[in-house]
Amino acid sequence: MTVLLEGVPLYELATEEIGGAFSGILAGNIRRARQRVSRLLFDYRYGVETTEFAHLDQFGLAHEERVYYSPAHWGTLRRTLPAHEVRAEDVFLDLGSGKARMVLEAAARFPFRKVIGVELSPELTEVARANLKSTRLPVHPDRVDLVQSDVLDYEIPDDVTVVFLNNPFRGEIFAAAITKLLASVDRRPRPIKVIYFNPTEEPYLLGTGRFRHLRTVTRGRASEIDVFGTTRIYAVTA
């Protein structure tokens, strides 16, 4: 006996549904594979290893408010920060710098006086330092400082003018990092931009009353209202 649903055999509907689901899964897998190959090719071209994901529990650093290592796309800074907005005296700081992908981008593509990366994991910091030595990007190592430190112990230098965050931490740790940043601004008032990739803690940021949203840059299928896949830029206010 064949079961009909509005005149269509049920097995045909099931076959169509399964086929559609399989096609969607296959398309998603192909898309992810292409993205991975693209990331690996960038690493190969630049002479570094920044692509592989890393969970902090691999290093005994797991914490519900700390996020795993997952690098932003190589072009993130170039899409969000026009080079003409960077002055020769500007200092770039990446909090949660991982394997130093954005540190290398900042040092190679922009005229920053100094580029700093702060990373909790000693193992990821070792990889970052190896990348700094091996990279084919036009980076001057004397302008780069890779610091292995917990952000809770790190004092933000009073000459930092651009801060990059790739969703490195959340909750109380994020709040503590922002408090340190604002304390630095209060000690030495100056213009500061914050570039926040995957801005999960934006409500807290704006809730301080000290950050003004400047613009949002999206990637892929993300829209401006999405959190993941977007980069938002803020100015720190007095």
69 within 8 A of 124, measured Cβ to Cβ: yes
CA distance 172 to 163: 19
pLDDT tens profile 200-235: 999 999 999 999 999 999 876 666 677 888 999 999
User: Which of the four pLDDT bands, split at 50, 70 and 90, describes residue 81?
Assistant: very high
- Asked if 139 and 107 touch (Cβ cutoff 8 Å), the reply is yes
pTM, to two decimals: 0.81
Q: Which CATH superfamily is domain 56-236 in?
A: Vaccinia Virus protein VP39 (3.40.50.150)
> Percent of the chain at pLDDT above 90?
63
Question: What average pLDDT does the segment 190-197 reach?
Answer: 97
The answer, yes or no, to whether residue 150 has pLDDT greater than 80, is yes
Q: Where are the alpha helices (DSSP H) in the chain?
A: 10-46, 76-80, 101-109, 122-134, 171-187, 202-207
What confidence tens digit (pLDDT) does each residue in 12-33 have? Answer: 544 554 455 555 545 556 655 5
**What pLDDT does 33 receive?**
57
Task: Check residue 189 and give its pLDDT.
Answer: 97
